[in-house]
Amino acid sequence: MTLLLRINSSSRQTGSHSTAIADHFEASYRRKHPDCRVITRNVADGSIPIIGQKTIEGFYTEPASMTADLKEATALSDKLIAELQEADTLLIAAPIYNFAVPAALKAWIDQIVRVGHTFSFDGNSFQGLAKTRRAVVISAYGAEGYLDGQPFAAANFVQPYLKFLLSFLGVEDIRFIAVQGTVADPEKVSASLLAARQECDLAA
């Protein structure tokens, strides 16, 4: 039985293109893996807070020295990391907000990037410890021209950031599926969505 861990980060409860394409990917994945499990995290619902002082302290405290309040402060991180480590495929739906990932997605990232759990450092080099080996990132862009080789590529901090981050954690197979020009005329949007759905069918 495979596990798909899905992270939705759009603040739009309706009308989100990244969520819609992630829905299509999940449906394709379920068809190919009928016995799969799916865990969905809608991180924009406020369920994952920005990490605070106690959480950071807990991240750098040896297990034997963890107090009750530090354990409580890191309990959510423990749970989110356990989900990631169990997943066969990580699906991230990430619209671009002001050239970068949504703050809600960054909050999730800050909870799962944790020394001794998802990466290690021996004093000289880092080693990714994530057991998930495959990630699919679905991004939606209001304008066109954000992808490699296009005029506005330098303003796209979503793909380079997530590619580096996931590689840092040890994810080996990373695929990006993009929908551009979501505020363009309906025909262009439809064509972009169709192409993205076709990519999902191949990647699922």
Per residue in 121-178, pLDDT tens? 999 999 999 999 999 999 999 999 899 999 999 999 999 999 999 999 999 999 999 9
Binding residues for FMN: 10, 16-18
Give one word for 170, left, alpha or beta, with left for phi > 0 and alpha for psi -120 to 50.
left
Dist CA 109 CA 50 (whole Å): 10
Residue 184, pLDDT > 90, answer no
Q: How far is the C-alpha of 26 from the C-alpha of 11, rounded, in Å?
A: 19
Q: Which of the following CATH numbers is that of domain 3-203: 3.40.1280.10, 3.30.70.1140, 3.40.50.360, 3.20.20.70?
A: 3.40.50.360
Given a cut of 90, is residue 194 above it in pLDDT?
yes
Q: State the pLDDT confidence band at 41, using cuts at 50, 70 and 90.
A: very high
**What is the number of alpha carbons within 13 Å of residue 48 lying toward its C-beta?**
24
- With the CA atoms of 200, 201, 202 and 204 taken in that order, what torsion angle do they form, in degrees rounded to the nearest 10? 70
User: What pLDDT, on the 0 to 100 scale, is given for residue 46?
Assistant: 95
Query: Among 13-17, 135-139, 190-194, which range has the highest average pLDDT?
Result: 135-139
15 within 8 A of 142, measured Cβ to Cβ: no
| Confidence (pLDDT) at 111 | 99
- Reported as a pLDDT band with limits 50, 70 and 90, residue 188 is confident
Binding residues: 10, 16-18
Per-residue pLDDT tens over the stretch 72-117: 999 999 999 999 999 999 999 999 999 999 999 999 999 999 999 9
The SS3 call for residue 25 is: helix
Q: What is the pLDDT of residue 178?
A: 96
189 pLDDT exceeds 90? no
What's residue 167's pLDDT? 98
Return all residues near 121 (Cβ < 8 A) that are at least 6 apart: 115, 127
- Cα(44)–Cα(18) distance, rounded to whole angstroms? 13
